[in-house]
Amino acid sequence: MKLACIAALCAFVVSPAFAQQTVHRHQSPPGVEPAKSHAAPPPEAVILFDGSFLDAWRTADGQPAAWTIENGDMVIKPGSGSLRTRQSFGPMHLHIEFCIPPSPDDVTGQARGNSGVYLAGNYEIQILDSFDAAPANNLAGGIYGHKAPLVNAARPAGQWQTYDIDFAPPRFDRDGRKTADAMITVIFNGVVIHERVAVPAITGGALSDVETATGPVMLQDHGHAIRFRNIWVVEKVHALSTDTPPLFQPVFNGRTLDGWVQRGGKADYRVEDGAIVGETRPNQPNTFLCTERDFADFELDLEFKIDDALNSGVQIRSHSEPDYREGVVHGYQVEIDPSNRAYTCGIYEESGRGWLDNLDDNVAARTAYRNGEWNRMHVLARGKHIRTWINGVPAADIVDDGAASGFIGLQVHGVGDRVEPLRVRWRHIMLREIDPD
């Protein structure tokens, strides 16, 4: 198991000599990932495990920790019981890295590498081998029994994974009455899966049946030899709350097209009921409504709805330059494809190389799209690595040497001489800019 986890960390670098090289997720060495492994704790961090000792931990009933240390990893000894920190915490940021051992193919569901991280001993963020599954509140990243993650950002078993969690415990008045629920933000492998989620009650398997203003971090023994490393906490003076600035900011204000510019053809764009509506016009080439500014590394989250007979997409890191085919929009496109082909959230290079990941090998993603309904698209672009999700299900995943920045664009595909208009709609277009590593 240790060898599998070490192998998963081997870095892969795309040589600059191989311009425009694309590596798909089933080929991609896991060293190219959106989250750092072994993230260095800041000076003010409380170190809970650095590979040396288990002194910060004890069993739930106060006995010495019985888990083992193997090659600098803390490893669950199945059946020995969950561990909790000796120290209790109030508002905090928790960083923890874990590696789930692979399970045989005939092992399914909650039996695949199950554990959990409990905040204040009472609120579980699930650990489970659920790579490529649709998000659920009892699968990886779920606030157990309460809320499914926005997307399933899990990696395959055998690879190191990371939770970065901001947590505020519930608040109480002088008489002990609860005045505010616990609140959680989780970034899983570099992807935001929960943001300022209020948790109204303790989750299953908690250390206590009473909510408290402070409590320990607890790691669950569910009978599987999960490995942990690099665990630390930064205690917070200002607790996470509804007043905490959101991680995502709107790219579209819901009222006007301020900040956007139209390129290409003459399809019609307008705002209706808080959504951008793109409508076809006959005998027009592909048309794009593009942001006026460029974006480099980011997470993008939006909803879209499209007529079944139309094709569309969302351009990212794209460009329009006079010296390239007379200004045609070109660059990465996250596909919107309501046809039976079902390539929605595949990655295509508009006016370039064509398909980079068409999802032919990803049945789960190709069946996640819902015709005639609002669907959710999520995109992570960080360095050379681009990932997409459709309704929370992992879709395309490439490592590519293409453009590192560019505008975002909303495509209305050309429809030839068709006169009857077709429409595509986008709403809740939100973006989180990411500082480069």
pLDDT at 24: 59
Task: Examine the fold and report which residue of 235, 266, 287 is the final residue of a domain before the chain moves on.
Answer: 235
pLDDT at 436: 79
- From first to last of its 437 residues, the chain has per-residue pLDDT tens of 444 444 333 333 333 333 455 665 544 434 334 344 568 999 999 999 999 999 999 998 899 999 999 999 999 999 999 999 999 999 999 999 999 999 998 999 999 999 999 999 999 999 999 999 999 999 999 999 999 999 999 999 999 999 999 999 999 999 999 999 999 999 999 999 999 999 999 999 999 999 999 999 999 999 999 999 999 999 998 888 888 999 999 999 999 999 999 999 999 999 999 999 999 999 999 999 999 999 999 999 999 999 999 999 999 999 999 999 989 999 999 999 999 999 999 999 999 999 999 999 999 999 999 999 999 999 999 999 999 999 999 999 999 999 999 999 999 999 999 999 999 999 999 999 998 76
Residue 34, domain member (yes or no): no
Q: How far apart are CA 358 and CA 366, in angstroms?
A: 10
Whether residue 192 is found in the same domain as residue 260: no
Residue 306, domain member (yes or no): yes
pLDDT at 32: 39
Q: How far apart are CA 434 and CA 59, in angstroms?
A: 38
Domain that holds residue 135: 46-235
- Chain Cα centroid distance, residue 353: 27
Residue 143, domain member (yes or no): yes
Question: Beta-carbon neighbour count of residue 415 at 10 Å?
Answer: 19
Place of tokens 């069946």: 367
Q: How far apart are CA 327 and CA 386, in angstroms?
A: 25
pLDDT at 8: 38
Whether residue 158 is found in the same domain as residue 273: no
Question: Beta-carbon neighbour count of residue 327 at 10 Å?
Answer: 13
User: Domain count of the chain?
Assistant: 2
Whether residue 203 is found in the same domain as residue 308: no
Whether residue 75 is found in the same domain as residue 221: yes
Nearest C-alpha neighbor of 247 from the set 113, 401, 153, 380: 380
Reported as type and span, the H/E element at residue 227 is: strand 227-235
Q: How far apart are CA 290 and CA 299, in angstroms?
A: 17
Residue 38, domain member (yes or no): no
- Phi-psi category of residue 282: left, alpha or beta, with phi > 0 → left and psi -120 to 50 → alpha: beta
pTM of the predicted model as reported, rounded to 2 decimal places: 0.90
CA distances from 287 to 201, 266, 268, 329, 420 (A): 49, 6, 9, 9, 17
Tokens representing residue 365 in the block: 């993603």
| Angle at CA of residue 119, ends 229 and 56, nearest 5° | 45
Q: How far apart are CA 22 and CA 20, in angstroms?
A: 6
Whether residue 256 is found in the same domain as residue 175: no
Whether residue 300 is found in the same domain as residue 151: no
Question: Beta-carbon neighbour count of residue 170 at 10 Å?
Answer: 21
Q: How far apart are CA 401 and CA 273, in angstroms?
A: 39
Task: Examine the fold and report which residue of 235, 264, 294 is the final residue of a domain before the chain moves on.
Answer: 235
First CA to last CA across the chain, in angstroms?
Answer: 29
Q: How far apart are CA 376 and CA 363, in angstroms?
A: 17
Task: Examine the fold and report which residue of 235, 266, 290 is the final residue of a domain before the chain moves on.
Answer: 235
Residue 410, domain member (yes or no): yes
Judge contact between 115 and 221, C-beta under 8 A.
yes
Residue 339, domain member (yes or no): yes
Whether residue 264 is found in the same domain as residue 297: yes
Q: How far apart are CA 343 and CA 367, in angstroms?
A: 9
Tokens representing residue 194 in the block: 């929960």
Place of tokens 């399914």: 108
The CATH number for 375's domain is: 2.60.120.560
Question: Beta-carbon neighbour count of residue 272 at 10 Å?
Answer: 10
Question: CB neighbours of 20 closer than 8 A, spacing ≥ 6?
Answer: 353, 400, 401, 402
Whether residue 272 is found in the same domain as residue 321: yes
